Structure 1
Amino acid sequence: MQGMLFNDIEQKEMEYLIKRELEELLLDIEDSRIEHIVKRAMNERYKILFQLFRRVASEQECMKYIPKRLKSE
C-alpha cells in the first residue's frame, strides 16, 4: 500500500488542479465532435480523477462533481 502526505496548502493546490481537469473533461465529453472511443477514454479518466478528488476535497465539493450517468456508457 502506498500513501502520500500533503500539508494544507498542497492539499488545496491538488484539489484545485483536479477540479480544473474534471471541468475540462465534462466540457469535452459534451462535445459532439469528439469520437465515441475518445469519449470512453475521457469517461475512464474522469472516474479515476474523481476517486482521487474524493481523497483531497470536502464532501460538499465532491457533491458538485459527482458524475451523472456519463454519456457513452
Structure 2
Amino acid sequence: RPKDIIETIKDYNEKYRLPYIIENNRGLKRKVIVQPEWRDFLMTNYRVIMEWVHDEKIKYLEKRKIEESAS
C-alpha cells in the first residue's frame, strides 16, 4: 500500500538521509520533496544526469527492440 511505502521511506530517511521524502497526502496532493543539498547537486549536474538518462533509455529501447524481433 502506498501509505506503508511512504512510512517506510520516512523511517529510512531518518537513518540515512535520502535525496527526497514523500508527503503522505492523498491523490494529486501527494508531493515529493527533494532535500536542499540534493537539489543543489542535481541542479549543478543536471546536464550530465540527463545525458545518462538519455543513454540508458536508448539502451533499454534497443534491447526491447531486439527482444521483440526475436519473438
TM-score (norm 2): 0.39
Q: Which has the higher contact order (CA 8 A, sep 6+)?
A: 1
**Structure number with higher strand proportion:** 2
TM-score (norm 1): 0.38
